[in-house]
Amino acid sequence: MPKIHNHYVPKFYLKGFTEVSDSEMMFVYQKGTIEPFRTQIKNIGNEKGLYPDELEIALANDIEKSANPILQKLRNFELISEDEKLEFSRYMFSMWLRVPKHLGWVIEKSPKIMDKTFSDVEKQLQQLAEKYPDKAYLVNQRIKQLHDIRTNKVDEFIKGMWLKNIPVGIDRPPVQILANMEWRFLESDSNQPFVTSDNPLFYFESFGIGNEKSEVSFPLSKNLVLWAKWKMEIPSGFHKARTQFVKEINRRTISSALKFIFSPQTAYWIPILLSKKRIRLNRIV
């Protein structure tokens, strides 16, 4: 039997954003609403029937199992090795691939790709029928099935492509690019915590991650964020974050969310930002 709910934001990750360290509770803000609701981490960052069981098991065993100790080291303000940096880059990139917002991105970008794919397959089938006339009936049946998928089952087909791409996509070039960037870790305090979302890895889409102007941010806990660039003016390691920096990182996190923001406390400014169609963002220099 398939699991009822699949966690696209891991529970261990969310544990870093609870009210207090020994709690399972946090506040959740949803786009289109004003008041947050308070709930346990097991109840959020998941969706019914999002993945097949084998994919969730693979993500847990192949990605989260090795990344969780690294995440805990960072939360303890311990520096990590280059190998750990590469492993944690796999974890961050998997968090981009596995969330519903990325599925939506794939669906949005798919029409042109799908049109060409279906056209190419249909052309190949027609050539096959011409080459093997005795197989024409079977080939025509396949073409009818192709038309049915294209007309009635395209979302299901695209989701299948997305699911297949998650495990193989984790070790593609963006992982090494993330690991090659310069990383700094900025610490906030309880009066101005970092929040996270249902799509926590942020980068400027106009630059991507390989441009000299690229910036990446990834909240690690309510008190810590990873900030990555290609050239840093501050020394490596952990640093206290200015209030303005924390605000900018939180704006980025909220701007990249699909539906939900996860916060250790209530904050009047979160629904204000969630209500905006476009949030003004600035590069940090």
Per-residue pLDDT of the chain (285 residues; tens, 9 = 90+): 455 678 999 999 999 999 998 889 999 999 989 999 999 999 999 998 889 888 888 899 999 999 999 999 999 999 999 999 999 999 999 999 999 998 888 777 676 656 666 677 777 778 877 877 887 778 778 777 766 666 666 677 778 778 888 887 778 899 999 999 999 999 998 789 999 999 999 999 999 999 999 999 999 999 999 999 999 989 999 999 999 999 999 999 999 999 999 999 999 999 999 999 899 998 987
Question: What pLDDT was estimated at residue 1?
Answer: 47
C-alpha distance from residue 226 to each of 99, 188, 233 (Å): 19, 12, 15
Question: What pLDDT was estimated at residue 112?
Answer: 62
C-alpha distance from residue 149 to each of 102, 105, 123, 158 (Å): 22, 20, 16, 10
Tell me how many degrees the CA angle 237-251-197 measures, rounded to the nearest 5.
85
- Counting Cα atoms < 13 Å in the Cβ hemisphere of 75 gives 18
Question: What pLDDT was estimated at residue 3?
Answer: 56
Neighbour tally for 215: CB within 10 Å: 20
Question: What pLDDT was estimated at residue 144?
Answer: 77
Neighbour tally for 97: CB within 10 Å: 21
Neighbour tally for 26: CB within 10 Å: 26
